[in-house]
Structure 1
Amino acid sequence: MIENPILKGFCPDPSIIRVGEDYYIATSTFEWWPGVKIHHSKDLKHWEQIPSPLRRMSQLNMIGDPTSGGIWAPCLSYDNGKFYLIYTDVKTKKGRYYNNHNYLIETEDIYGEWSDPIYLNSTGFDPSLFHDTDGKKYLVNMRNGFKGILVQEYDPVNKCLIGEVKNIFAGTEAGYTEGPHLYHIGEWYYLIVAEGGTGYGHCVTMARSKSIWGPYQVDPGNPMLTSKEDDDAYLQKCGHADFTDTQNGEWYMVHLCARPRKGEKACVLGRETAIQKVYWNEEGWLRLANNQFEAAKFVEEPAGIEEHPFGKIEERDDFEAEELDVRYVSPRIPLDDNADLTARKGYLRLYGQESMNSLHRVTLVALRQMAVKAEAELSVEFSPRHPEQLAGLTYMYDAMNFYILGKSVSEDGKPVLTLLISDTGVITELIEPVILETDERLYLKVCTSQDGKIVDFYYSYDGNGWRQVGSSCDTYILTDEHCRGFTGAHFGMYCHDMTGLRLHADFDYFIYR
C-alpha cells in the first residue's frame, strides 16, 4: 500500500506527469529558493527530490516578494520530447490588487538546465499549459478576483500567446475557483479546478465539454474530493488536484492536503501532497477508488509495477560534498558566494547579511519540517564583535514568524547565547542572554514534542552535555493558520551581520531527523 502523504511537509499544489515509466511531481515553493520542487518516482510510492528548474537569477528574482508570495502552483507537462514548466511569480497579494506574472520555461533534460523564461500574462495565477491531441497548445489560468477560468492559445514556434482570450468556466457555488488543468480524453474536454479556498473548505471540482471553449457541465457528484465535512479526517484541506494514467492503464490523482495537530486547526507542516487511486465510472466521471469523497490514508499500489525505492536520505550532513543537497532552500534568491563549501573543507561557511525579517538578502540554509516530532542539531564556530552580528540555529516559518537560537556578543563584548522570537513581526528576547563560558565551538539543538505542539531549545559545549535554553515554547506561531501563509515550518543554519561587514560563521554539520 501507498501511505499518504507521499510528499511530506510543505509540498503543495502538485502537478503530475508520466513520461514512459517515470513519474514527476512539481510543487509550489513560494518565496523559497530555488524555485519549484520536483520529485521523481518509478512506482508512485517512493519519491526522490531532483534539482529544481529555477536555479538562475535570469529565470527568477524574488527580492522583495512578500511572505507566501513568489512561486505559486507550477504546472509541469511533457510533449514531443520536451518538458514544459509554467509558473506564477506573485509580487503582491494584499487587499484588492494581486500583481502576479506568469512565465514558461522548457528543457529536453529534466535533470539539466532549463531555458530562460517566456513571459505570458499577468491576468491571474495558477497557470497550466494544455497540449491538445491536434498539436495545439493552450494557456489556462484563473482570472484574478476568482472571476472564472481563462483560456488562450499558445504558439510554441514564436513563443507567445495568440488569438482571443475566453472565459470558459465561472466555477460553482463553492467559490474561489483556481488551480485549473485541462485534459482531452476520448470525446470530452475535462476541466479540473480547486474550489472552496485552500483551507479547510478546499475541494476538487470537475466539469466537461465537447469543445475546449465550453459550455462545461459540472460533475453531478461534485465535489469529487473534499474533507470539509469531516473535522477529524486524517488528511484535511484536500483539493488542488491533477491526475495521470499508469503505463498499465490505471489512473491516479495527486492532491494538496494537510495534517493539522490533533484537536486543533493548526498545521505546522504546511500543505503537503497525497495520492489517490481513481477510476472512470459508467457516466464518464472520475471517482475515488474507495467510492467516497474523502481522501484515503492508504492507497492501493499500481498493478504490474515493481517497487523502486531510492537510497536512504542521511540524517547528518558533514558538508563533504562539492554542492549543497537539493533539499536545502534559502529565502528569495541564491546565496551564491554567501554560502561556501570550499573555504574550509568539511564546513559550510555562511556570510552574514540582513536579518531574518528582511524581504531581500538573508543568509539562511534550511530544510522543511516533514513530521510533527522532529529535531535539528548543528555545531557552529562564530566570533562576533558587534551585537548586530548573530549566527546559529533557527526554527522558522517566514520573515515574520520565527525562533532563533544564536550566538552574539553583549554591548561590552562578551560572547552570549540568545533565544529570539518573532511573532507576526514583533521580535523579542525570550531569555536573558546566557554568558558563554568559551568563545569556541558551540553546539545547538531544537526538538519538538511528540504531538508537535511544543518546542525546546538546547546548547552544549561538547555535543553531549545538553542544557535547555529557557522554557518550552509553543509551535503555533509557525503554523499556516497563525502566519496566514502557504508554506510550512523549517529548521535552518542562519547568520546575520547588520553592520555590513559580512562576518562569517562556520557550520561543521547539520542534523535533521
Structure 2
Amino acid sequence: MKLTNPVLPGFNADPSMIRVGDTYYIANSTFEWFPGVRLHESKDLVHWKLLPSPLSTTTLLDMNGNPASGGIWAPDLSYADGKFWLVYTDVKVTEGAFKDMTNYLTTAEEITGPWSDPIRLNGVGFDASLFHDQNGRKYLVQQTWDHREYRHPFDGITLTEFDTDTMKLDPKTARTIYRGTDVKLVEGPHLYQKDGYYYLFAAQGGTVFTHQEVVARSKTLAADSFETEPDGPFITNFDTPDFEIQKQGHGALVETPGGEWYYASLMARPWNHDTESAYDPRGWSTLGRETSIQKVEWDDQGWPRVVGGHGGQVEVEAPKDAIETDAPLTHSRHDEFDQDTLDTDWNTLRVPFTPHTGSFGDGQLKLIGHLSLTSNFDVSMIASRWQAFNFDAETKVKFDPFTYQQMAGLTNFYNDKHWSWIFITWDEKKGHVIEVAENNRGNYTSYLKDDAIKIPAGVDYVWFKTKVRKQSYTYEYSFDGETWHEVPVTLDAAVLSDDYVLQTYGGFFTGAFVGLAAVDYSGYDEVATFDYFDYKELGE
C-alpha cells in the first residue's frame, strides 16, 4: 500500500501528527474559520477520516472581529497521562510590528471530546507545542515574537516549564534553546526524544517557496544547547522548483508500532498560467497549504533523513503494519440540509452558526442576511474548502430582495478582500436580477451592471453553479434546474491563492472556499432559503 501526497488535499496547514495505539491523528490550523482546529484519524496513513473539530464553542474559541488569517495558528496535539492535550493559539493581530495572541490549553479523554474549558498559557509567541518529557516534566516550546523594529521579529525557540499541579507555566524557567540558522524565521517547533537525545524539529524560511524544516539536537534542554543537523535542511522544495510539491516544512514526526518513522508536513501544489514562466512566479496555490507525509530514516550518525531526498516524494510506502482505513477517496458530497447538525465539512467565519445566522433542517438552509462579505463581524455564510483543482458546485436558492443592499447566492471565497459570487439582488429598473461581482484586493467590481439578468415573473427559485477549472472559473444560472446559462465572465483563480494574497497582505494562510451566503446590510434581515448544495470533483 502507498500513500499519495497530499494525504489531506485543500487547506490543511501546519499538521500536528501523533499516534495513540494503532491510530494516527492529525490536527491542522483553521485560522479565522470556525470551528477551530481540523482533526483527521487514520490507521494506515493513507486514508483519513474527518472528525468533529474540538474548538466548537465560544467558550473555547471566540474570534469575532479577528483579521483574515488570524485565529487558530498551528495547533499542537499530544497524548499523555491517559488523555489528549491540545495547545492552540488565537492570533488577534496579523499585520505590523505586533502579533497579539493568546496560547491556550484544553484536554479530553477521547479525541471526540468533550474538551475542557481553556487554560490561558501565555502570549510569548505562536506555534506553541507541549513536550512531555520521559522524566515526567512538561514544557511549552514556542516561537518567540519580538516587536522591536531593530531586531528580527522571530527571536528563537523558547522553552518554558509547565506545572501540572497548578496547570500554569513558570516564566522563571523560560529560556531560548535554539535560534535557528541564517535562513531565519524559525517557528513551528516540536520536541522528541530518541537514543539519549532531544530532537527539535522547526520550520524556517517563511511558509512560502523558501520554506524548509531543520532538525537540531541536544542531550539537555539547556539554553542554546541545540546543534543543527549537518547536510540539511531536513526537508525543503526551495531547490526543487520542477517538483509538483512545494513549500514543505512545519510538521511533526511519528513512529509506527513497527518502528518505522514518518513526518507530516504542510505543502502546496502551485500552478501557472500558460503565459507565465514556471519559475517566476513559481505558481499560484489556490488549494492553500495542504498536508503531505514523507517516510523518514535515521542515518548512522543518528540524524533523520527524508527517504528519496529532502524534496520528498509524491508516492510514499505506507507502514508495513498499516491497518487499512475505510475513508472516502473523493471529497464530492451532496447536502440536502435535512440533518439537525451541519455537516463537518461546513465552516463559518469566526463564530459558530447560531439562530442569529439562520437555521437548517427539513431540507432547507435559511441564512439571515447581515453584513457584507468584506466584514470581520456578523457574516452569514457557510463554506467548505476547495479540495480539487477541478470541480462543479451548485445550489438552489429562493430570495426576495427589495433593495440592492440585499444579496444572496453562491460564492468562491479566500478572505474578506478576495472573493467573488453570483447572487440574486434587486435593481431599480428590472426588479429581481442576477449579478456576478468580484472583490479583488478590496476593489469591488460588478460585472453585469445594467446588463444584470432579470429573473422572470413567477420564478421563485434560481439555481446557481460554479465551474472551477484550475486556472479559472465561471458561474452559471438556471430558472428550472435543467437548462443552464453561462454568465460571460471568466475569473482568474489565482486571485484566490495564497501567493496572490501575499503580494498585498501578510495574512495568506488559508486557501479557497466555496460556499453559500446572504447579505442584508440595510439591516432588515432578509432571509435566503437554500434547498441543497452539491460539490462534485472532476478529474485532473
Q: Normalising TM by the smaller chain, what interval?
A: over 0.9
Contact 1:431 1:470 in 2 (8 A): no
Does structure 1 residue 201 correspond to structure 2 residue 210? yes
The Cα of 1:112 is off from its aligned counterpart by 2.1
Deviations 1:369-425 (A, max 9, x none): 011112210001111122111110001101110001100111357101111100111
Equivalent residue, structure 1, for 2:150: none
Alignment of 1:74-93 (within 5 A): 74-93=75-94
Structure 1 unmatched runs, 5+:
none
Amino acid at match of 2:490: S
Contact 1:23 1:44 in 2 (8 A): yes
Q: Equivalent pairs: percent with the same residue?
A: 39
Whole-angstrom CA distance in 1 between matches of 2:270 and 2:203 = 20
Equivalent of residue 390 in structure 2, options 345, 370, 373: 373
Equivalent residue, structure 2, for 1:152: 160
The Cα of 1:321 is off from its aligned counterpart by 1.6
Q: Matched residue of 1:482: which SS?
A: helix
Whole-angstrom CA distance in 1 between matches of 2:510 and 2:140 = 26
Equivalent residue, structure 1, for 2:196: 187
The Cα of 1:305 is off from its aligned counterpart by 2.0
Amino acid at match of 2:499: E
Tell me how many residue pairs correspond in the alignment: 508
Does structure 1 residue 483 correspond to structure 2 residue 501? yes
Contact 2:24 2:43 in 1 (8 A): yes
Does structure 1 residue 443 correspond to structure 2 residue 463? yes
Structure 2 unmatched runs, 5+:
146-152, 273-277, 503-507
What TM-score results when the alignment is normalised by the length of structure 1? Answer: 0.97
Amino acid at match of 2:528: A
The Cα of 1:501 is off from its aligned counterpart by 2.0
Contact 2:257 2:321 in 1 (8 A): no
Deviations 1:277-322 (A, max 9, x none): 11111111111122x1111000001002231222565521111222
Contact 1:24 1:40 in 2 (8 A): yes
Equivalent residue, structure 1, for 2:233: 223
Equivalent residue, structure 1, for 2:298: 280
Whole-angstrom CA distance in 1 between matches of 2:328 and 2:236 = 34
Whole-angstrom CA distance in 1 between matches of 2:178 and 2:193 = 16
Q: Between 408-417 and 140-149, report the one with greater CA deviation.
A: 408-417
Does structure 1 residue 505 correspond to structure 2 residue 528? yes
Amino acid at match of 1:173: D
Whole-angstrom CA distance in 1 between matches of 2:13 and 2:229 = 24
Equivalent residue, structure 2, for 1:34: 35
Q: Between 70-79 and 498-507, report the one with greater CA deviation.
A: 498-507
Whole-angstrom CA distance in 2 between matches of 1:316 and 1:250 = 38
The Cα of 1:240 is off from its aligned counterpart by 0.5
Whole-angstrom CA distance in 2 between matches of 1:441 and 1:489 = 27
Whole-angstrom CA distance in 2 between matches of 1:300 and 1:436 = 55
Equivalent residue, structure 1, for 2:244: 234
Alignment of 1:276-355 (within 5 A): 276-290=294-308, 292-311=309-328, 315-337=333-355, 338-342=357-361, 345-355=362-372
Contact 2:45 2:322 in 1 (8 A): no
CA 1:314–1:471 in structure 2 vs 1: closer, same or farther (change >3 Å)? closer
Contact 2:417 2:442 in 1 (8 A): yes
Alignment of 1:98-177 (within 5 A): 98-144=99-145, 145-162=153-170, 163-177=172-186
The Cα of 1:324 is off from its aligned counterpart by 0.9
Amino acid at match of 2:6: P
Whole-angstrom CA distance in 2 between matches of 1:32 and 1:311 = 23
The Cα of 1:212 is off from its aligned counterpart by 1.6
Whole-angstrom CA distance in 2 between matches of 1:51 and 1:358 = 27
Amino acid at match of 2:100: N
Equivalent residue, structure 1, for 2:275: none
Whole-angstrom CA distance in 1 between matches of 2:425 and 2:359 = 21
What TM-score results when the alignment is normalised by the length of structure 2? Answer: 0.92
Contact 2:39 2:50 in 1 (8 A): yes
Amino acid at match of 2:401: P
Equivalent residue, structure 2, for 1:494: 517
Moved over 4 A (4+): 311-314
The Cα of 1:157 is off from its aligned counterpart by 2.2
Contact 1:386 1:413 in 2 (8 A): no
Q: Matched residue of 2:495: which SS?
A: helix
Whole-angstrom CA distance in 2 between matches of 1:435 and 1:421 = 20
Whole-angstrom CA distance in 2 between matches of 1:386 and 1:54 = 37
Contact 2:47 2:328 in 1 (8 A): no
Whole-angstrom CA distance in 2 between matches of 1:309 and 1:286 = 31
Whole-angstrom CA distance in 2 between matches of 1:384 and 1:332 = 26
Q: Between 227-236 and 258-267, report the one with greater CA deviation.
A: 258-267
Q: Matched residue of 1:148: which SS?
A: strand
CA 1:165–1:402 in structure 2 vs 1: closer, same or farther (change >3 Å)? same
Deviations 1:449-480 (A, max 9, x none): 2xx11111100011111101132111111111
The Cα of 1:339 is off from its aligned counterpart by 3.2
Does structure 1 residue 246 correspond to structure 2 residue 266? no
Whole-angstrom CA distance in 2 between matches of 1:349 and 1:78 = 40
Equivalent residue, structure 1, for 2:148: none
Q: Matched residue of 2:155: which SS?
A: coil
Whole-angstrom CA distance in 2 between matches of 1:373 and 1:314 = 11
Contact 2:14 2:251 in 1 (8 A): yes
Deviations 1:469-494 (A, max 9, x none): 13211111111111121100000010
Amino acid at match of 1:339: G
Whole-angstrom CA distance in 1 between matches of 2:133 and 2:419 = 46
Amino acid at match of 2:196: E
Contact 1:129 1:139 in 2 (8 A): yes
Equivalent residue, structure 1, for 2:187: 178
Instruction: Indicate the RMSD between aligned Cα atoms, in angstroms.
Output: 1.2
